[in-house]
Amino acid sequence: ISVWSAVPQGPPDPILGVTEAFKADPNPRKINLGVGAYRDENGKPYILPSVSTAEASFVGEADKEYLPITGLASFTSAAAKLAYGSDSAPLSQGAVAVTQSISGTGALRIGGAFLARFYPTSKVIYLPTPSWGNHTPIFRDSGLEVKQYRYFDKSTVGLDWAGMLADIRAMPQGSIVLLHACAHNPTGVDPTQEQWKELSNIVKEGKLFPFFDMAYQGFASGDIARDAFAPRHFVSEGHQIALCQSFAKNMGLYGERVGLFSLVTSDKEEKARVESQLKILIRPLYSNPPVHGARIAGSILNDPALYKQWEGEVKGMANRIISMRTTLYDLLTSTHKTPGDWAHIKSQIGMFSFTGLTQPQTEALASKRSVYMTKDGRISMAGLNGGNVEYFAESVDGAVK
């Protein structure tokens, strides 16, 4: 008998399962809207020209030595500046503890583990309902207890502002609250700047700890500073935030695993203590982070000309997605007169849209039209393009009527 005979079969990943079904489908018109990765107007993966240029500048020349535990310093300091802003007070005071991370996922996991070990008042983190599917297992495996707060209102396909406020107000003092900095995944619904200001006050009143996940900076509006409004505002209001960054989407560095985890501390001396503990936490996990992607991101962020080029490319990706939202909205409402209010398609932000399609409708779309999305009706807008958006709109119209 094998040692592993009692290991139970686990369920497949809900998102990667969609891609498998898509791959097995022979229909040439098939569309995959499940995966959260940008596609160009031909439906192909996109290598940013700024990334190619940065990579070409060091390939074959840079060595393959280990990085320090907290990563490539030229990258981590530039990445922190990108998030907090070059005028950030704690940054200029040297009070932000930073470490390179294995993309956004790794940042969340280090953050969860650090809070589980050192956050003094609570071991409970509250997530919005719904949230990115990986948040719950990440924080649970980090040693935190996971609870929920209301976020999305199915009836309006928008923010449940009243429910969100009520739930955050009711959290026990000192709890940890996870906030999506921008382009909330999976709903595409974000608070307004006015609402963020109110949230900052309520989080302060409840002595809550704000833990920001920023996986889409630049990708939401096309504007780096605008997308960082929430964490920057919280910091300017005196909150000591935790922040997770990913360069998967905004630089298209998905498989390179480039990210940053940071914590705002009170001064240089405290920052040094916190960073020493981040190192102690990371060393037995993976020793030190990968170097290649950090070199690419660091080269872009530290070279003014390349940075400017990259900003334009991020804007280009965001704008293509935004134009697909308009096209899809127009096709559904004007061309097909599809029943329902589709305004949320245009008002939602970032890579994803929660269409409001039901599970039976998403199943019919897959089986009859070879159109694939997650069961909750979430579509990746980046999977739509000039060549397939009409077929998609016609398919949605058929599924709804």
What residues are annotated to the active site?
132, 213, 249
Q: Which residues, numbered 14-43, are part of the site for ligand PLP (CB under 6 A)? A: 36
- Shortest reach from residue 151's CB to ligand PLP, in Å: 13
Considering the complex, state which of residue 30 and residue 180 has its C-beta at the smaller distance from ligand PLP. 180
185 near ligand PLP (CB under 6 A): yes
Q: How many residues bind ligand PLP (CB under 6 A)?
A: 13
Judged by CB under 6 A, which stretch of 41-49, 87-95, 98-106, 235-243 contacts ligand PLP?
A: 98-106
DSSP reduced 3-state for 170: coil
- Shortest reach from residue 246's CB to ligand PLP, in Å: 3
Question: Strands, DSSP E only, in 109-202?
Answer: 124-129, 145-150, 152-153, 158-159, 176-180
Judged by CB under 6 A, which stretch of 56-64, 103-111, 329-337, 388-396 contacts ligand PLP?
A: 103-111
Task: Please enumerate in sequence order all residues whose Cβ is within 8 A of that of 7, keeping only pairs 6 or more positions apart, or say none.
Answer: none
Q: Are 371 and 365 in contact (CB under 8 A)?
A: yes
DSSP reduced 3-state for 146: strand
Considering the complex, state which of residue 255 and residue 360 has its C-beta at the smaller distance from ligand PLP. 255
Q: Are 126 and 171 in contact (CB under 8 A)?
A: yes
**Interface mask toward ligand PLP for 68-97; x: CB under 6 A:** ------------------------------
Considering the complex, state which of residue 250 and residue 370 has its C-beta at the smaller distance from ligand PLP. 250
Considering the complex, state which of residue 189 and residue 215 has its C-beta at the smaller distance from ligand PLP. 215
Beta bridge partners, 210, equal 177
Task: Please enumerate in sequence order all residues whose Cβ is within 8 A of that of 25, keeping only pairs 6 or more positions apart, or say none.
Answer: 370, 372
Single residue of 167, 213, 227, 313 touching ligand PLP by CB under 6 A: 213
- Shortest reach from residue 149's CB to ligand PLP, in Å: 16
Q: Which residues, numbered 153-182, are part of the site for ligand PLP (CB under 6 A)? A: 180
Q: Which residues, numbered 344-383, are part of the site for ligand PLP (CB under 6 A)? A: none
Considering the complex, state which of residue 109 and residue 369 has its C-beta at the smaller distance from ligand PLP. 109
Q: Which residues, numbered 215-274, are part of the site for ligand PLP (CB under 6 A)? A: 215, 246, 248, 254, 259
Rounded (5°) CA angle 177-182-185: 80
Q: What is the 3-state secondary structure of 56-114?
A: HCCCCCCCCCCCCCCCCHHHHHHHHHHHHCCCCHHHHCCCEEEEEEEHHHHHHHHHHHH
- Shortest reach from residue 34's CB to ligand PLP, in Å: 12
- Shortest reach from residue 254's CB to ligand PLP, in Å: 6
Considering the complex, state which of residue 246 and residue 362 has its C-beta at the smaller distance from ligand PLP. 246
Q: How far apart are CA 371 and CA 374, in angstroms?
A: 10
Q: How far apart are CA 55 and CA 218, in angstroms?
A: 21
C-alpha R_g of the chain: 21
End-to-end alpha-carbon separation of the chain, Å?
55
Single residue of 119, 126, 132, 209 touching ligand PLP by CB under 6 A: 132
Binding residues for ligand PLP (CB under 6 A): 36, 103-105, 132, 180, 185, 213, 215, 246, 248, 254, 259
